[in-house]
Each structure stands twice: as C-alpha cells, then as structure tokens.
Structure 1
Amino acid sequence: MSLVKQRDPEQREFHQAVQEVVETVKPVLDRNMEYRQQAVLKRITEPERVIMFRVPWQDDDGQVQVNRGFRVEMNSALGPYKGGLRFHPSVNLGIIKFLAFEQVFKNSLTTLAMGGGKGGSDFDPKGKSDGEVMRFCQSFMAELYRHIGPNTDIPAGDIGVGAREIGYLFGMYKKLKNEFTGVLTGKSLNWGGSLIRPEATGYGNVYFASEMLATRQDTMEGKICLVSGAGNVAQFTTEKILDLGGKVVTLSDSGGYIYDEAGIDQEKLAFVMQLKNIRRGRISEYVEKYRSAVYTSVDPTLDYNPLWTHKADCALPCATQNEINQKDGENLVSGGVRLVSEGANMPCTPDAIDLFLEAEVLYAPGKAANAGGVAVSGLEMAQNSMRLSWPREEVDNRLKQIMKSIHSTCLDAAADYSIGQNYLAGANIAGFTKVVNGMLDQGLV
C-alpha cells in the first residue's frame, strides 16, 4: 500500500479499492509463498496499459470544447479487456483505475473469459443536445478505436453512457475500421445487442440478494427496500424487487431523493423510466405527479444522506462510489436493515462495511452483486461471435445461474479460509486467486 500511495498519491478511490483487496487476500499470500516471490500484488495493482487523450468537439453554438478521455487496460490474464465507459464530470484517472481494478475481479467471478478494463471522460452528457453528444462520441472514438477490438478490448456503457452513446461510438468505430464486429456491448437489439442487457445489472443485484436471503431461509417477499439512484441499475433493481414481492420506497439522483411510503409500483416505475430515459428529467418531478411522496433535496452541510435514515429491511445502493459512509451505515443498522447489496461500484466506505460485518448484516460487495451487467455483456459477445440472438428467457436463465454461481464461489472461498459468511473476503479471494494463477501460468509478462 505504501508503494501504491507513493506512486499515485492523489488517487484516493484507487487506494481504497486496492486496500480492500490487499487486506482480505493476506491469508492467500501466506498460504502460497510463490505469490510473494512472484510479486503478484505489485503486478496486479499496476495497469498493463493506460491511455489518456484529449477529446476536442464543437457545441451547438460553434464553440470548441475540450475534454479528457481515458482507457485503463488493467489485466488480460483471463481474456480481452472488458469494462464500461463512464461520461461524468467527476471522471479522472484515479476513478478509472479504481473501476478497472474492481472490474478485473468482478469479471473473473462471472466464469466468462474476460479481463478487466475501464474508460471514460469528464464530459457531461446531461443537458447536451443529441448533436453535441454525437460529435463528442465521434471525437472520443477517433482516438479510442486504435486501442480496442473484439479480441483486444471491448468497452460497454456505464454512468452517462447508454444506448444512444453506444450507438454513436459504434458508428464511428465501424466507419474508421470498415468492419462490423462485436467491439462494443450494450448495443441496440436490432444491430447486435442482447436481450436482458439493460436489465442485467439490476436483475443480477436482486438475484444475488435473494441468494443471500436464502441462506437464512428468507426471501424478498414483503421486504421494504431502500434503493439509491434512478438510472438503469436502480430502475431494474426496483423492477426485479417488485417481481419478487418486495417494496421499494426510495429513488434518487444528484439533486436529491424521493420517499414514497406506499411503494413505487409498476405504474410509478414506468413513469420514472420515461422521466429519466426519454425526457432526461429530474427525480424531483416524481412528487408533482404522485403527491403522497416526499422529495428531499441534497443538503451539502449534512455528514449523512437522509435517504438511508428510513426504516427498511434491505438497502441496495445503485448510484455511485462512497455514497454510504459510517454515519449512513449506523442509520441503516439502527433502521432495521439486515441486507446491503451493492448495485453501484464501491458505494460503501470501508468504515460502513466494517460496521455491517460487525452487525452481521448480509453484505454483498459490488464486484459480486453487480456482476450481472458484465456477465450479460459477455453473453452479448458470445452471441455476436456466433451471429446469433438468444431469446429473453435463455439470457435471463443464464444470468440467474451466473449469479447463483458467483454466490456459491464467494461462500466456498470464505469457507476455505474459515472466515464465515463474509462475501467481501470470499469475492476478493476467489477473484484474486483465479486472476493470479492465470498470470503465473503465462509467465513474467
């Protein structure tokens, strides 16, 4: 950790992600002395390749704008680099490195042949016209295309990158390379996309949560759930909770959150999807239509998020990193939450995680619980390679089996090291061991 911090002192999110893994895999290093001799920690925390570039584009007023583009190709021991692109003002190299590092272990848990990578830009698509987004995406791909390919690096979507952005990116790639390949996932259905891909991260999150509940002879039926976010992951997490008989009472965006004690039913969820996906509006508009709900705007003076103060059985953070701090964790435990399943990447701080483990809350780290998205991206890659399109039921069944397998893998790894029902340690140990063994098999490269 000293070396990691010394090399990149400003990359706090990356330090946090590495620290979490390093602490939990120490027993693995102690049991396998070859890992220390081969310096696997130093190798696995250093990206194989980092690409950073400028992205000039022209807005609707004719003014030239310049953003930064990133792609971190972290590890390819198990397959070509795979991971999303994030377009958000907060994006910097440290955040992309943390996401790429997490992606390596997440992908290894899916059982599919995928390495880990991540990319993005500090470009903010919010409030931009379709033309501006298109011009940005084309400029972004004019550099990125040199570094990706269906057998090299296959990007996907993430925050700020949905079907619209994937379409523009793919169109530019196809023009520059003069080939139609499965170089991007998250594509529209009529030109190579997969059924269930938009739903996959949210559905997989709930499938994993259901597997955890089953270990305590419980189900999602009747559970009151707090969900953060209002984008793709939050929407389909909510949809699957409703399918399984649970009740979701919160959703949020960067401006604030809504609390609907009666529950966000299918009709209300359809309104949210139309609001966020088509109109690109704000979650505050929810209370204009459903008067019984309460909207609370973000208060930067608070050291906690009021969303997590409501009494509930389950919490599924689906917004962004470090959205649940220690104070939020205390509020969740005192509010009766007995399960936390991460739909976002690293949404809980280390202090909050320690609190959940101490209180014996069922806690699922994102690298396990939200692996459904990249799992179905892998299935989309397989369909593209075969020039086939599987029916919805088949993809959903494969997703369920993958999430069930990830759950079992985490428990088995934890049991192998006698650390109980610790999904965090189990996920890290299982993912780490698989990747490291692949690296060692391939020599010092």
Structure 2
Amino acid sequence: MDASINSFMAEVKKRNSHQPEFMQAVQEVAESVIPYIAKHKIYKDQKILERMVEPERLISFRVVWYDDTGKIHVNRGYRVQMNSAIGPYKGGLRFHPTVNASILKFLAFEQVFKNSLTTLPMGGGKGGSDFDPKGKSDNEIMRFCQSFMTELCRHIGPFTDIPAGDIGVGAREIGFMFGTYKKIKNEFTGVLTGKGLSWGGSKIRPESTGYGTVYFAQSMLKTKNDEVKGKTVVVSGSGNVAQFAAEKIIDLGGKVIALSDSGGCIHDSDGIDEKKLDFIMNLKNEERGRISEYTKKYPSGKYYKGKRPWHIKCDIAMPCATENELDERDAKNLLKNGCICVSEGANMPSTPGAMQAFRKAKILYAPGKASNAGGVSASGLEMTQNSLRYSWIREKVDDRLRGIMENIHDSCVKYGMEEDGYCNYVKGANIAGFVKVADAMLAQGVI
C-alpha cells in the first residue's frame, strides 16, 4: 500500500512541488483514502482522487488600491474553485501577507472534505490576497476591498461560489465587499456569508467555528464517558475562533488557562473567566491590542514572549491560530503533561509529526476538517436563511450547529474505528468526506 501512496504522491509532486502546504494536505488525505480506494475499484478506475487534487479553476488577479496619502499599492488576489460536485463552491477569503497559491490550494482541498462532512450541499473553494489589513485605516481597507471585489464579482454568485471570511476578513471587510458586489450587480443576494444581522446575516455565525470545535471535543469525550466540565484547557490564538471556543468552554464548565497571539502566550492558572474573556475580546476586537496587555490588567497571568501555549499542563488542547503551529515537540510536551484530547479549531495546525504522535499515543485527536467545520456549517445555514428570506432565532441555529457537529463526529467514528477499538478521527474524516464527493463525481460523469 505504501507503494501506491508513494506513486500517487510522486505524480502530484510533478505538478505541485513548489507548493509545500498543498502537498502536505494531499499526503495526509492520501494515506487514509488510498487504502480505502484499493477496496473499491470503481474509485480507482475513474481516477477520482487524481481529479479531486486538481482544482476545477484557479483564478489570480491584480488588486490596485491607494492609501490615505495617495500612494498606489498593488496586491495579488486569488480564488481557488476546487470542487463543485455536491454544491456551489464555498470557503473563506483570507487577507494576510503569507497568502499564496499553495496555501489557498491546501485550504480549498481541505474545504472540500470539510464541507462534505457537514452533509450540506456545498462544494469547496478558498480565496484571498497577500494584503495585510493590520495597521490600515478603515478607508484604506474599504478601498482595497472595493478593488478586490470589482474583479472577484466576475467569478462568484449565490449559485456559483459563496465566499465567507477567514483570517484578516471579518464583518467590516465582508460589509465593504458585499456593498461593492451589490452595486456592480444591482442585486441583493446571499453571495457572501458572515454578513451583519441587519442585512442578511445569521445569528451565532461569528461564534460558530469556536463553538463547533468545542462541541466536537464534547462528542469525543462522551465516547469515554467524560465531558468538558472540570477540564483545564489551553487555546492558541485570541481571534474570533479562539475567543468563542473559550466562551463555550467556560459555558460548559471547563477552565481556560491560556490564549496567545503572534507575539506570545498568556497563562493564567486561576482561569480566564467571563469577565477576563470580555477584556480580551475588547482588547483584540476594538483596541486591536496585544495579548501581553492582559498581565497589566490581571497580575495572576504570566506572559511568555515568542511562545505558544503547548508547554502548559492541560487536559484539552485547542489549536485555533494557524497552520503548522503545533509541531512534534509540542505534541510530546502535551502528552507528557497529561493532555487527553486535542480538537483543532484552525486549518491543519498540527504538523505531520505532531499528528503521528497523537495517534500513536491513542488520545482523542480531531483534525480541523472535522472539528472546525462549525464555521462553514453556520455559513450553510446562513445561505438557507437567505434563500428563505427569513432569519432563525439564536437557539435554533445553535441547536442545528450542535446537531451537525454530532453528525460529523458519528461519520468519523463510522469510517475511523479500528480493530483495537481506537477511533482514528483523521482516517474517519478523510474517508467520510471523500465518499460523498466521490459518489457525486461518479454520478456526474467524467467532466
């Protein structure tokens, strides 16, 4: 079987050797899916996986804008439309200096499986720009978003491709882009998700990725007759996903003791309660400050410059910042300190070495394509509400989100349970996501 995987990866590498993030994502899927394909000959004969790793469309375009001093800047915009077998392309837009084709192809590839797991009719896509919103004024961000959407609008639509937010793209950016699309197209449609509540948004959409990550952890713990209540939890990041993961952990009776940002991490052994979390949310969302400022307000907290929180003793770890933020050494530290559960809130935050360490130790470990699917699930629910011209109450959306995350967990168990009783959630998520998309591709012919 290793020979088949190596042969497949060699062919993929010929076309994508300069795209390490994409290659890493494909490798992880191939290791789970190729043994399954070997037992189901039709997928192999029709070259389903070979077709899935090739984007249906990769769009690159120039984005020109001017700053508040009148200086012209040129950025590059992208949209990767990966697979539309089960529905229109769906996936976020990321504005960050590190954005390139490799990162967006990896994210789009992951999105195909993630969206399939939700059982909602959504294909996979991803996009963004190497534009950095940090330090920019609202007017500069507005001008960039308007220029970006002027080109992107040619390629998206409510029945074609429905982008959402991601790193660097929040309610402000979605608003500027939506307004531009509406003006150009002269129509009010649900072409973007993550909209404001007064103009087509859905309740708990901002909370959904973080909440979903915790709901998935709760489902995993239930298989061991355990729960979040009473557990100590470390969370990386302090943005949208991390904030609401922390909020839900507190709501379920867990104790959050760490958060981080790109500068370092804080550790508060007394726990980050609702009041302290409110301070962090205001600090990051309104003041756009650094997590280090927490210790000035709460002396019980310690700040570790340049470090992520994986050296801190905990029961549950939730990497919610960015890709490859948790390496093999970090994983071994977590295991040595008694961590029993890892639920990923970011996309591919654990390196291959870390993932192998978690699986070898047979702890509860959920890959991001399963555990952070809450965000796109809520986006799908927002699309449904837009189609109905109706808005559901918070409790209904939250209940549906919880149900979707429980169903994703059950699908992972169905395909990931091994002979010794250990559930390999990585294997389960990859195969469950693959089967639905593959069957749709078979039904639609060779296109």
TM-score normalized by the length of structure 2: 0.97
- CA deviations 1:155-189 (Å, max 9, x no partner) are 00000000000000000000100000000000000
Q: Return the alpha-carbon distance in structure 1 between the equivalents of residues 35 and 16 of structure 2.
A: 26
Q: Which runs of 5+ in 2 are unaligned?
A: 1-8
Partner of 2:4: none
Give 2:400's match in structure 1, choosing from 398, 401, 405.
Answer: 398
Partner of 1:204: 212
Partner of 2:19: 11
Q: Closer, same or farther in 2 for the Cα pair 1:350/1:116, shift >3 Å? A: same
Alignment of 1:133-152 (within 5 A): 133-152=141-160
- CA deviations 1:230-258 (Å, max 9, x no partner) are 00000000000000100111111111111
- Residue type of the alignment partner of 2:357: L
- CA deviations 1:33-63 (Å, max 9, x no partner) are 1111111121000000000011110001110
Moved over 3 A (4+): 415-420
Q: Return the alpha-carbon distance in structure 2 between the equivalents of residues 406 and 416 of structure 1.
A: 18
Give 2:315's match in structure 1, choosing from 310, 313, 318.
Answer: 313
Q: Closer, same or farther in 2 for the Cα pair 1:416/1:355, shift >3 Å? A: closer
Give 1:383's match in structure 2, choosing from 378, 382, 385.
Answer: 385
Partner of 1:301: none
Q: Return the alpha-carbon distance in structure 2 between the equivalents of residues 398 and 150 of structure 1.
A: 22
- CA deviations 1:58-82 (Å, max 9, x no partner) are 0011100011101000000000000
- CA deviations 1:249-307 (Å, max 9, x no partner) are 11111111111111110001101111111111111111111112111111xxxxxx452
Q: Return the alpha-carbon distance in structure 1 between the equivalents of residues 273 and 411 of structure 2.
A: 34
1:86 paired to 2:94: yes
Alignment of 1:69-108 (within 5 A): 69-108=77-116
Partner of 2:424: 422
Q: Return the alpha-carbon distance in structure 2 between the equivalents of residues 197 and 137 of structure 1.
A: 21
Q: Return the alpha-carbon distance in structure 2 between the equivalents of residues 70 and 387 of structure 1.
A: 30
Q: Report how many aligned residue pairs link the two structures.
A: 439
Partner of 2:6: none
Alignment of 1:320-335 (within 5 A): 320-335=322-337
Partner of 1:155: 163
Q: Secondary structure at the match of 2:153?
A: helix
Partner of 2:409: 407
1:165 paired to 2:173: yes
Q: Return the alpha-carbon distance in structure 2 between the equivalents of residues 391 and 438 of structure 1.
A: 33
- Residue type of the alignment partner of 1:324: L
Partner of 1:277: 285
Q: Return the alpha-carbon distance in structure 2 between the equivalents of residues 62 and 22 of structure 1.
A: 49
Q: Secondary structure at the match of 1:146?
A: coil
Alignment check: 8 A CA contact 1:225 1:312 kept: yes
- CA deviations 1:204-252 (Å, max 9, x no partner) are 0000000000000001011000100000000000000000100111111
Q: Return the alpha-carbon distance in structure 1 between the equivalents of residues 305 and 98 of structure 2.
A: 20
Partner of 1:352: 354
Identity %: 64
Q: Return the alpha-carbon distance in structure 2 between the equivalents of residues 166 and 151 of structure 1.
A: 18
Alignment of 1:32-47 (within 5 A): 32-47=40-55
Q: Return the alpha-carbon distance in structure 1 between the equivalents of residues 74 and 254 of structure 2.
A: 45
Q: Secondary structure at the match of 2:154?
A: helix
Q: Return the alpha-carbon distance in structure 2 between the equivalents of residues 125 and 257 of structure 1.
A: 22
Q: Which runs of 5+ in 1 are unaligned?
A: 299-304
- Residue type of the alignment partner of 1:434: K
- Residue type of the alignment partner of 2:380: G
- How far residue 418 of structure 1 moved from its aligned partner, in angstroms, is 8.2
1:441 paired to 2:443: yes
Alignment check: 8 A CA contact 1:27 1:417 kept: no
TM-score normalized by the length of structure 1: 0.97
Give the CA RMSD over aligned residues. 1.1
Q: Return the alpha-carbon distance in structure 1 between the equivalents of residues 308 and 433 of structure 2.
A: 34
- How far residue 128 of structure 1 moved from its aligned partner, in angstroms, is 0.5
